[in-house]
Amino acid sequence: MKITIITVVYNRAETIGQALESVASQSHGDVEHLVVDGASVDGTLEEIWARKRPHMRVISEPDAGIYDALNKGIAAATGEVIGLMHSDDFFAHDEVLQDVARCFEETGSDAVYGDLDYVSASDVTRIVRRWVSGEYTQRRLAHGWMPPHPALFVRREVIEAFGPYDTSYRIAADYEAILRWFGRGGITPTYLPEVLVKMRVGGESNRSIELILRKSREDYRALRSTGVGGVRALAWKNLSKLPQFLTK
């Protein structure tokens, strides 16, 4: 099974190396790595070229934001399954993609997802939060559930059938896509109960009160536009994050 991993990056010279090495170290034998750089100016490209490998393709040009860049990667992908590796993240271990491929092959699922650790930016061995996804149901989706986006792997045919990321969303296009694929698309996902990805704390949507409010507005819009839920689902979505701080 060929898996395409998409890495979108802009001015992340300090962390991009670990993200690239994390993909390169995977034991799975058929991996395509697409690196979509937004014309970085801080040395990121030099870090990328220093780690260039045969399985890697690099696109470097200005873009209209992270979701536009992700869509570029999706359009260029040739793998049967598509996953992400954000420039600040890394896989939890070297067998992640092998485990994911095995899960797809054994279940025939449309998507596979797992758990995620939030780690300290200054000490990636220190776990700050753990996102334990749990099993998917339509009822849970309508109550604000979602899998961690970086720990989600989707068959390319699902994205082709139900559409890529909606770039009219600036922060919550990942949530809208998940609602669309899981809800309207009615895909069959499988939960892989292990930590697949480590993410440094400090995501784009949580950097200020203004961004938090904007994300909430976009989350609500996504819930309404996909017909999955409304205010109650949004409230449960935010409240459901509290146990993450207790599970380490």
Which pLDDT score is estimated for 205? 47
Pairing of the two strands 81-84 and 3-9: parallel
CB atoms closer than 10 angstroms to residue 52: 13
Alpha helix (H) residue ranges in 61-208:
66-76, 96-107, 138-142, 156-162, 173-178
Side-chain-side CA neighbours of 183 within 13 Å: the count stands at 23
- Number of C-beta neighbours around residue 184 at 10 A: 14
Q: What's the per-residue H, E or C state across 215-230?
A: HHHHHHHHHHHHCCCC
Q: What are phi and psi of 118, to 5 degrees?
A: -85, 130
- pLDDT given for residue 26 in this prediction: 98
The 8-class DSSP code of residue 179 comes to I
**Would you write out the chain's pLDDT as a tens digit for each of its 248 residues?**
999 999 999 999 999 999 999 999 999 999 999 999 999 999 999 999 999 999 999 999 999 999 999 999 999 999 999 999 999 999 999 999 999 999 999 999 999 999 999 999 999 999 999 999 999 999 999 888 999 999 999 999 999 999 999 999 999 999 999 999 999 888 999 999 999 999 998 655 455 678 888 888 999 899 999 988 777 777 757 666 656 656 55
**What whole-number distance in Å separates Cα of residue 231 and Cα of residue 143?**
10
Distance separating alpha carbons of residues 113 and 135, to the nearest angstrom: 10
Which two tokens mark 72? 């570029």
Paired with 239 in beta bridges are none
Instruction: Report how many domains make up the chain.
Output: 1
CA distances from 69 to 4, 25, 62, 76, 112 (A): 15, 24, 9, 11, 22
Contact 114, 196 (CB under 8 A): yes
Contact 48, 57 (CB under 8 A): no
- State how far the Cα of 200 lies from the Cα of 212, in Å rounded to an integer: 18
Residue whose structure tokens are 């979108």: 8
* Domain extent at residue 58: 3-245
User: How far is Cα of residue 113 from the mean position of the Cα atoms in its chain?
Assistant: 10
Gap between the Cα atoms of 42 and 191, Å rounded: 38
Q: Is residue 195 within 8 Å of residue 117, measured between CB atoms?
A: yes
CATH number for the domain that contains residue 14: 3.90.550.10
